[in-house]
Structure 1
Amino acid sequence: MTVNYDSKEYLAKVDAWWRAANYISVAQMYLKDNPLLTREISEEDLKIHPIGHWGTIAGQNFIYAHLNRVINKFDLNMFYLEGPGHGGQVMVSNSYVDGSYSEIYPEASQDEAGLKHLCKIFSFPGGIASHAAPETPGSIHEGGELGYTLSHATGAILDNPDVIAAAVIGDGEAETGPLAGSWFSNSFINPVNDGAVLPILYLNGGKISNPTILERKTDEDLQKYFEGMGWSPLFVGGTDPEKVHPAMAQTMDTAITMIKDIQAKARAGKAEDATIANWPVIVCRTPKGWTGPKTWAGEPIEGGFRAHQVPIPVDAHHMKHVDALVDWMKSYRPEELFDENGTLKDSVREISPKGDKRMSVNPITNGGIDPKPMKITDWKQHAIDTSTPGAIEAQDMTEFAKFAKDLIVENPDNFRIFGPDETKSNRMAEIFKVTNRQWMEAQKPEYDEWIAPVGRVIDSQLSEHQCEGFLEGYVLTGRHGFFASYEAFLRVVDSMITQHFKWLRKAADHKWRKQYPSLNLIATSTVFQQDHNGYTHQDPGLLTHLSEKKPEFIREYLPADANSLMAVMTEALSSEERINLIVSSKHPRPQFYSAEEAEVLVNDGLKIIDWASTDGDNEPDLVIAAAGTEPNLEALAAVSLLNKEFPEMKIRFINVVDLLKLRHPSQDPRGLTDEEFDAYFTADKPIIFAFHGYEGLVRDIFFKRHNHNLMIHGYRENGDITTPFDMRVFSEMDRFHLAQDGALAVKGEAAAEFAQKMTDTVNYHHDYIRANGVDIDEVVNWKWEALNK
């Protein structure tokens, strides 16, 4: 039987779906019982504290119902991203109507008892969130912190050529910086290899208590804006459902036809020859709080900010206006939607796409479409020979890029690299021997470098938000990658990273959720290497920020050389359900650790370095520990200074790579036991800890340990444009201060002369760099020498 998707009869079914979703959405806000109003509402039926945000709901339910229609009409592979904040009922209600919610949560059965359960748990203790949270079927995007809908959608459709991401963007969200910047996403979507994003800008006119900017713009102004940004805007809107339904159907059809035409034309040729497309964007104007109360207490509700949250003041303790609530709910004609058992009638559910075509259970929203593990080559084929520690100088990120190049070749369609115009600066140019930067805009060959329509690197937009959003969308849909950026400017997106952590944390509570590849962040151009850019570029605080999150989901790696970095990246790219922060050097550095040592450092988290220690099998006099590239370099130089001056001193040197492994097991399940910790650090011997980040993080780690005889030398929020070594001196994270503290801790007054020598050397350094502009020879020409043992 042929279905006429454009007929009045079919649109009446779309309307019935919409009314059902609206009815269930209102019931979720107010009710915990009697969801079908089969008897007079009592106090026991109402929640004491109704929670919800009505303003966005009906408009989004309308969009969702019409997306179902085009999925059926065009046989689409489509999923839904809910950008407007607090619109949680939308995806809950629609997944209940299509039956998938009950399939995942059988207690929310397709009858009155199940509907009662659904209403009670919404925004209720022990229940579900008011956002499209991880417990919500079909969601990969919670919409709590606004601004990331379009970047998540774009990340999701990269390398997914058959998918359309319906990205609903609220007009409040559209005012955020990240969302405004994400209209550039079309510059990176290849219509051959990638899917399509259908942005639906939902202009309902109100935020919490303000109008929205774009809704006050004329269609003419918005037309110019979007056309100037390379999009093809389609306008639809109104207040009368009888008129808006056919208008929306026509607009949706036009948008899908445009997408299919763009793809068909491009796919008749090669991806390498594709050009930028003018993808459609739907601008939908319907009232905030549509179909709800028109006015309340003499003030307008529908169409303005007053519809934002709970529009009618009714709860278990305030029953005065309950008749108004009942009238509102009955306006959706529930008797036409539900049978006598409280089950949605077949005529309502008839427009539901079938099986995995339902947006709520599209596989892309739960681990991805046919996800594949990464093929990870053996990094040791690129290992540096460190048989003489420190004899070879290399740039860690340059060496890692040789390994990354192999990964690109082995994973041609499920691995990507993202960055904000920093891939070359971060010393990864080697990868461009096998790939390009994906870029759909015009090219200027005389000026451009590694620019092409096809490439595994997206780094041509200077936006950390876009990089993070693209990567999140990519890994949440089952693929792999990393985002490399200047360390200080990863802080630009630390709240985005936090939101991703919250997603992982909540998703882990739901067994039906499949696992995701980890989110990998490389922080380079680091705090102690920013001597040329200055104080603004110096901030290692992401280490502290992430360390405060649930430990099961966070790893912080501080590899001190290229071998260690490649071993860390092998672990990170193989992992799932984590955020891996890797702090790495890009400048030339002595290479100290063998491939075997690097793998132990990753597997165990830390290692006593025999060739840099003199304690043998004995209890040391002094423990020197280091976490990070410059901390390792300076700590090893301090070991050398102390060994030459005090050859009898028993020194133990520890390199720490997996920082959070040092935490107590009561704080982190992976943490070393007290016995293991003391075997490394002793119970009472002095410890000099050279650290890449803020000192408080290490201080917290040692708080529950036996040994508090600790002196930490980390970043002390001092910096400037200066010489490389002076950056370390600013924070006393240099060899001379480290050696001075170590000597005084072990020898006391007997080390006074050596301590003064260290002070004199620092003073000499201070004067020398200001006269000559370069570091002193003692630092520049230093080489590791075998210790006196």
Structure 2
Amino acid sequence: MSQETTGPEPYRRAADYIAAVLIHLRENVLLKEPLRREHLKPRLLGHWGTCPGINRVYAALDRLVLERDADVLLVTGPGHGAPAVHANLWLEGTHADVDPALGRDGAGLRELSRRYCAPDGFPSHLSPAVPGTLHEGGELGYALSTAFGAALDAPGRLVACVVGDGEAETGPTAGAWHASKYLDPATSGAVLPFLHLNGYKISSPTVFATMSDSELTHLFRGYGWDPRIVDVTSDPGDESLVEAVADAHSAITAIQRQARSGTEPSPRPAWPMIVLRSLKGEGAPVEVEGRRIEGTFHSHQVPLADVHDDPVQLRALEAWLRSYRPEELFDEDGRPVPEVTAGCPEGRRRIGMQPAADGGRLRRPLDLPPLAPYAVGLGEGRGRSPAGPTEVLAEWLTEIMRRTAGRRDFRIVSPDELASNKLDAVLRATGRACTWPVEGYAEDLSRDGRVMEVLSEHTCQGWLQGYLQSGRHGLFPTYEAFASVVDSMLNQYAKWLKMSGEVPWRAPVSSLTYLLTSEGWRQEHNGYSHQGPGFINNLITKKSTVTGVYLPPDANTLLVTMERLLDETGKVNVVVAGKHEAAQWLGLDEARAHCAAGASTWAWASHERGEEPELVLACAGGIPTVETLAAAQLLREDLPDASIRVVNIVDLCALAPADRHPNGMPDDRFRALFGTDTPVVLDFHGYPSAVHQLLHGRPRPDRFHVRGYVEEGTTTTPYDLLAANGTSRHDLALTALEHLAARHPRAPELGDRYAAHRDRLRAELRRTGEDPAEITTWRWGG
């Protein structure tokens, strides 16, 4: 054994070697014989360029754990550097503990390499199947905010976050640097970012890597950080990064010690961060066949992509792998030698065994108060006791905040919209998180507040994902029109949950629930730009086992829905609810039964004769419920001999066949609600395409005539917006009459009258600028 294999360097050399093997080899993984084409994987997949830098960070963090017993969770932004993470998990023995087939010997390394980027194996990015991870990093930009979410209310936890310099160019990352201003050092842990500057993204230089040390220092000090720059391009040893990590940890503990000492904490804590400059693809061949590789973007993915067919590249690959001297790092059976494993923590202190990375095992059920004290009574009758759904919900959420004040496992994240969405009652129980002093007027700010408001939907989502994935609970209320800002984050997280459910050792985490309010149908003062119900459409394209869409029609059904979802695990849910006073249709017990069914006949609003009605008027959403009931009342008064059933849908996915969605109604219940050949006029809150997608597979879906938002909008009145999209009470009644005309001779005459009435109302509101009283003061008269 040469002297070069002592100290921390052998560990990192072994990690680099394994990462390179995972990308290239399926046989001869210890190079005990000359490398041949048949030893190669048929497809070479993976990203080498970032792996050496990740291995440097992992090794430095291991030293911190060994020397200071730090409790470290690692979030890896460049998740395409998965080979590096796998290499460290194998070396520290975590892979073997989770799956004995991946033991720390030659057979285990061969199996790990065989599984990487193979069918039914590990994907090219990090995934739920990888121990110690809670973030894929497949789509760049979200690591830093997720890391902060994992640090909240975890005072002993250090969340190390690797941010690639390509990732740092993204808007979500730019916004997330401000998250340090929301982190209370007394009650939460800390985030230690590593900005990894290796110079290049896929095929061009990164912006951050072109900046000088002075520019970087000024930028991050402006953000409020205390940066430390480590450049290993000229001094490739390990000690400079190890020392910087130890120094950063000392600074973190000093900030926390002062905040927890009872003395006045620093008004602007400058948390440390590390800027790591290294070579892209460090260790790869410097040049092959006249093309530079190490230190260029040519090392980003597979540096020697033609190795199957090019003998020169095959020889270059073998020379590259042998440059790590694997015979010094592994014994005859392929086990890492003691000089390598000496750099690994043991037991539960291993980074791969971090409990927060499998947060479902830390999760405790949320302490939910009973609903009865907050429910709205029907008072003078259905539809005659108005209540603001979100205001009612806010009182219940306030009590949750009070009940969780001790264990601190519930937070609300919102892009500066809590008060606008009439949820600000919760501020009686907690404040808005803010650790920096604010000059000028402000209300309800608190260093330890558990309401997180920042005008960045990306940051809010990242906070909540990290918080939920590390075992806690939360809620994301936001304007409906702007929820689509995080469409791509929803995509990634829904996929993460889907895959998590297929990993036997992972425990489910609390569901992520969006509460979408400030709905476009109410118009407010914002106009066309604020009319956008398409977030529902995006969600229902995801795996049905992890998705749910709920449209509670009143305050009590909103309470019942939220009680269910805040107790649920393993899903992404969307709830759409109004914030203004609206009619109350169901008592609490009725609301419970209705929500349990997902959809039900409202017999009190129906006018049926015989076993199956002539027509079903169905609705999903608060505003559509009002318009459908108003249409039903019109038809009852003007066409009393028609047999019409009213059905309300609170769980939109109940419309799907039971074999396509776990919330889908069985066929017999679906027929009992909607008949077999009965025409159905369905007024829907969002785009009609969402309903048609869910109905696919049901018998005779062509009999469903769905009305919804069809991109007709401007700054106008609520009734005018409904009429422009064909969803007003008069338009619904007109559509119903078209299907009743064969049995009811008066239907065409009534249709003409309703159309003329609608047009008169629209002409009047254009003259006055407001909806007529017959619309604004309408009450259910059934």
| TM-score of the pair, normalised by structure 2 | 0.97
Question: Within 5 Å, which residues of 2 pair with 1:455-470?
Answer: 455-459=449-453, 461-470=454-463
Aligned partners of 1:677 and 1:369: how far apart in 2? 38
* Residue of structure 2 in register with 1:3 after alignment: none
Counterpart mapping for 1:672-683 below 5 A: 672-683=665-676
Shift in alpha-carbon separation, 1:569–1:617, aligned structure 2, 3 A: farther
In the alignment, structure 1 residue 175 sits paired with structure 2 residue 169 = yes
1:477 to 462, 470, 476: 470
Superposition deviation, residue 616 in structure 1? 6.3
Structure 1 residue 617: Cα displacement: 6.2
**What is the alpha-carbon distance in structure 1 between the residues aligned to residue 48 and residue 428 of structure 2?**
53
Partner of residue 757, structure 1 = 753
**Bigger mean CA deviation after superposition, 448-457 or 262-271:** 262-271
Aligned residues: 775
Counterpart amino acid of residue 39 in structure 2: D
* Separation in structure 2 between the aligned mates of residue 685 and residue 251 of structure 1, nearest angstrom: 72
Alpha-carbon offset, residue 250 of structure 1:
1.6
**What pairs with 1:219-618 in structure 2 (closer than 5 Å)?**
219-240=213-234, 244-269=237-262, 275-367=267-359, 370-386=362-378, 388-412=381-405, 413-444=408-439, 447-459=441-453, 461-615=454-608, 618=611
The answer for the alignment partner of 1:652 in structure 2 is 645
Task: Give 1:680 shift.
Answer: 0.4
The worse-fitting range, judged by mean Cα deviation, of 170-179 and 130-139 is 130-139
Q: What are the residue-to-residue correspondences of 1:87-102 with 2, within 5 Å? A: 87-102=81-96
Instruction: Give 1:12 deviation, angstroms.
Output: 4.1
Contact 2:517 2:578 (C-alpha < 8 Å) held by counterparts:
yes
Specify the code of the residue in structure 1 equivalent to 2:42.
Answer: I
Distance 2:544 2:607 in 1: 34
Instruction: Find the counterpart in structure 2 of residue 719 from structure 1.
Output: 713
Instruction: Give the C-alpha shift of residue 331 in structure 1.
Output: 1.1
Matched, 1:152 2:152: no
1:664 to 1:289, Cα distance in 2 relative to 1, 3 A: same
Indicate the residue corresponding to 1:5 in structure 2.
Answer: none
In 2, the alpha carbon distance for the partners of 1:189 and 1:740 equals 56
Q: Check the 8 A contact 1:568/1:602 in 2, yes or no.
A: yes
The match for 1:69 among 56, 63, 68 is 63
What SS does the corresponding residue of 1:244 show, helix, strand or coil? coil
1:224 aligns to what SS in structure 2? helix
Counterpart secondary structure, 1:321: helix
* 1:751 counterpart letter in structure 2: A
Equivalent positions of 1:746-785 (< 5 A) are: 746-748=740-742, 749-785=745-781
1:682-761 equivalence runs, <5 A: 682-707=675-700, 708-748=702-742, 749-761=745-757
The answer on 1:197 being equivalent to 2:187 is: no
1:430-452: CA deviation from partner (whole Å, max 9, x where unpaired)? 111111101112134x6211111
**What letter is aligned with 1:165?**
V
Instruction: Render the CA deviation track for 1:106-148: whole Å, top value 9, x for unaligned.
Output: 1112211111111111112222111111111111111111001
CA contact (8 A) 2:468 2:474 kept: yes
Shift of 1:383: 0.6
Q: Secondary structure at the match of 1:590?
A: coil
Aligned counterparts of 1:532 and 1:672: Cα–Cα separation in 2: 39
SS in 1 for 2:135: coil
Q: Is the 8 A contact 1:237 1:244 kept in 2?
A: no
Root-mean-square deviation over aligned CA pairs: 1.7
Structure 2 unmatched runs, 5+: none
The answer for the alignment partner of 1:110 in structure 2 is 104
Determine the C-alpha separation between the residues in 2 that align with 1:162 and 1:590. 48
How many Å separate the matches in 2 of 1:11 and 1:158? 40
- In the alignment, the residues of structure 2 paired with residue 149 and residue 622 of structure 1 have an alpha-carbon distance, to the nearest angstrom, of 51
Q: Distance in 2 between matches of 1:702 and 1:96?
A: 47
Alignment TM-score, normalising by the size of structure 1: 0.96
* Partner AA of 2:28 in structure 1: N
Q: For each residue in 1:386-443, what CA deviation from the matched residue of structure 2 results, as whole angstroms up to 9, or x when unmatched?
A: 2510111111111110011011111220000000000000101211111110111213
Offset at residue 647 of structure 1 (A): 1.6
Cα–Cα, structure 1 residues 712 and 369, in superposed 2: closer, same or farther, change >3 Å? Answer: closer
Deviation per CA, 1:614-643: give whole Å up to 9, x if none.
226632121111000000010011111111
Name the amino acid aligned to 1:357. Answer: R
- Cα distance, 1:270 vs structure 2: 6.9
SS at match of 1:623: strand
Letter in 2 for 1:364: A
Gaps in structure 1 of 5+ consecutive residues: 1-7
Counterpart in the other structure of 1:135: 129
Instruction: Tell me the CA shift for residue 313 of structure 1.
Output: 3.6
CA distance in 1, matches of 2:100, 2:175: 41
Counterpart Cα distance in 1 of 2:166 and 2:79: 9
Task: State whether residues 50 and 315 of structure 1, in contact with CA within 8 Å, keep that contact through their aligned partners in structure 2.
Answer: no
In 2, distance between residues paired with 1:40 and 1:244? 30
Relative to structure 1, is the Cα distance of residues 28 and 778 closer, same or farther in structure 2, using a 3 angstrom cutoff? same
Residue pair 1:765, 1:776 contacting (<8 A) in 2 also: yes
* Structure 2 Cα separation of the partners of residues 468 and 617 of structure 1: 50
Residues 700/369 of structure 1: CA separation in 2 closer, same or farther (3 Å cut): closer
Equivalent position SS for 2:74? strand
Contact 2:308-2:314 at 8 Å conserved across structures? no
Secondary structure of the corresponding residue to residue 284 of structure 1: strand
Indicate how the Cα distance of structure 1 residues 545 and 259 shifts in structure 2: closer, same or farther if over 3 A, else same.
Answer: same
1:543 to partner: Cα distance: 0.9
Deviates more, 1:470-479 or 1:583-592: 583-592
Offset of residue 743 of structure 1: 2.2
Query: Is the 1:626–1:632 contact (alpha carbons within 8 Å) kept by the matching residues of 2?
Result: yes
Q: Distance in 2 between matches of 1:317 and 1:618?
A: 73
Q: Does the CA-based 8 Å contact 2:44-2:305 persist in structure 1? A: no
- Whichever residue aligns with residue 766 of structure 1, its letter is R
Whole-Å separation in 2 of the counterparts to 1:512 and 1:79: 18
Mapped to 1, the partners of 2:609 and 2:564 lie a distance apart of: 31
How far 1:239 sits from its partner (Å)? 2.7
Aligned-residue offset at 1:11: 9.8
TM-superposition CA deviations, 1:1-41 (whole Å, max 9, x none): xxxxxxx9999432111011101011111100110011122
Structure 2 contact 360–510 (Cα < 8 Å) conserved? no
- 1:137/1:292 Cα in 2 relative to 1: closer, same or farther (>3 Å)? same
Residues 472-528 of structure 1, C-alpha deviation per residue, up to 9 Å, x if partnerless?
Answer: 010011100011100111100011011000101111111111111100111111121
Looking at structure 1, the residues matched to 746 and 636 of structure 2 have their Cα atoms a distance apart, in angstroms, of 15
